[in-house]
Amino acid sequence: MTFTAPETSTHYVPQDLPTHIQHYINGQFVDSVGGATFDVLDPVSNRNYATAAAGQKEDIDLAVDAAREAFANGPWPKMKPRERARVLNKIADAVEAQEARLAELETFDTGLPITQAKGQALRAAENFRFFADLIVAQFDDAMKVPGSQINYVNRKPIGVAGLITPWNTPFMLESWKLAPALATGNTVVLKPAEFTPLSASLWATIFKDAGLPDGVFNLVNGLGEEAGDALVKHPDVPLISFTGETTTGQTIFRNAAANLKGLSMELGGKSPCVVFADADLDAAIDSALFGVFSLNGERCTAGSRILVERAIYDEFCEKYAARAKNIVVGDPHDPKTEVGALVHPEHYEKVTSYVEIGKSEGRLLAGGGRPGHLPEGNYIAPTVFADVAPDARIFQEEIFGPVVAITPFENDDEALALANNTKYGLAAYIWTQNLTRAHNFSQNVEAGMVWLNSHNVRDLRTPFGGVKASGLGHEGGYRSIDFYTDQQAVHITLGTVHTPKFGA
């Protein structure tokens, strides 16, 4: 579908934008075999600024063939960890050197505020540095039975990793998968989100200049139901790492079953932010605002269900709504902007539909539609609903936008029941000064990650992933190393072999 906007729309456009985005296969930029393309638009004007090659099965086949050849006969999987680490650090250097350019392209392509996009490039570089360090320091188990046997683990890269990434903070999230997959000696085929292919195209030149051999990294743009589907079903791709919404994850799970692929999937979220009466109220409000309105609310770990103890409920709602009304919504390239434009008209329509649903499911305290000073573009004012019932759609369903539901609770048991009352289980945020309550609540909440008296600050050594409908498996730190490698147990007899003599 093609979206256009009136010619009167004006906004910042970076210089030297490409008008056509190609695949990158076996060290070369190429178009689709059949010539298929799709339009790429920016979310402020909703005008098409480029076309992108639309990958089909034959394009995925070429990319997988290149990756398979580079894995079977190329130098990358056989390099010593230190040699691979040097390349990874060169990649990190290049990402840091292009921080300003990466941020401006990411902001233009996604609608994220420029001040938030700037941090994404540095985080992407840090992912490569982290795994460069980790593979050099990596060691595996060896077990000895004195005089009898020694056993050790031989860790090996698996092969071609299929990486399917989302459109929110795309460049940084691509680095989460690319860094460990490459660090462990695999080759990859990346299928970036079709809404935001611009920054992904930069990886090719960065990798080439850093000395990554041809065929180790391959990129195929395209729609999920075409390029993504072909990658998931390809018999020579033993690993799929996917970040995206839960329904797509279920489809990938079904399609990967035929070839028994390894799967790591970080899926949707509807995370609770639980504020007890003894919490540092100002700090909790700061965190609860940032947790749902940063990145335009388009974040999987957003604390989009705020549960507040009844004793402070009215005060919390009043202060929270007042702050939400003051959030600056505007041009993503303006440094003053705190909430920019949603990524695409299709997503904008989805989020606005939930805002309308919310008006019948809760008490509207702030926002509720398009800001009056922004008549064009995918803009939604930060929207706050209070008194939301646990069975409401805006309480249960992932909206993935700047919309929050606030619900009161009377005691710890009710808070825990409300927190766990969704199909999702990605993150949870707990605010209390009671140490015993904090630990007991965090251990009983159904979430893969919990932050106590903190916003979303992650240590790269810790596991990242969810439970229930929020994911399958974990990545991060050594768990990423485990996912992208096979662990082969080798057993050696040291003494006389005592084997039962069948047939003797």
Q: Which residues are catalytic, by number?
A: 266
C-alpha distances in Å from residue 79, one per residue of 75, 83, 133, 156, 407: 6, 6, 15, 12, 55
Residue with tokens 């031989």: 154
Residue with tokens 């690319």: 178
Q: What are phi and psi of 146, to 5 degrees?
A: -50, 130
Sheet holding 23-25, edge to edge: 28-30, 23-25, 217-219, 187-191, 160-164, 239-243, 262-266, 471-472
3-state class percentages of the chain: helix first, strand second, coil last, to nearest 5? 40, 20, 40
Sheet holding 427-431, edge to edge: 363-366, 383-386, 403-409, 305-309, 272-275, 427-431, 449-452
Handedness of CA 300, 453, 446, 303 (dihedral sign): negative
Q: What angle do CA 410, 412, 418 make, to 5 degrees?
A: 75
Rounded CA separation 433/88 (Å): 42
CA-based nearest residue to 220, from 38, 47, 17: 38
CA-based nearest residue to 441, from 287, 278, 302, 283: 278
C-alpha distances in Å from residue 221, one per residue of 38, 248, 491: 9, 17, 44
Q: What angle do CA 304, 306, 309 make, to 5 degrees?
A: 175
Residue 242: half-sphere exposure toward Cβ, Cα within 13 Å: 28
CB proximity list for 368: less than 8 A, separation 6 or greater = 355, 359, 381, 383
CA-based nearest residue to 235, from 263, 264, 265, 260: 260
Q: What are phi and psi of 430, to 5 degrees?
A: -120, 130
CB proximity list for 486: less than 8 A, separation 6 or greater = 155, 156, 157, 158
Residue at 245: amino acid letter: E
* Contact between residue 462 and residue 477 where contact means Cβ atoms under 8 Å apart: yes
CB proximity list for 48: less than 8 A, separation 6 or greater = 2, 3, 4, 39, 40, 41
Q: Say if strands 471-472 and 262-266 run parallel, antiparallel, or are unpaired.
A: antiparallel
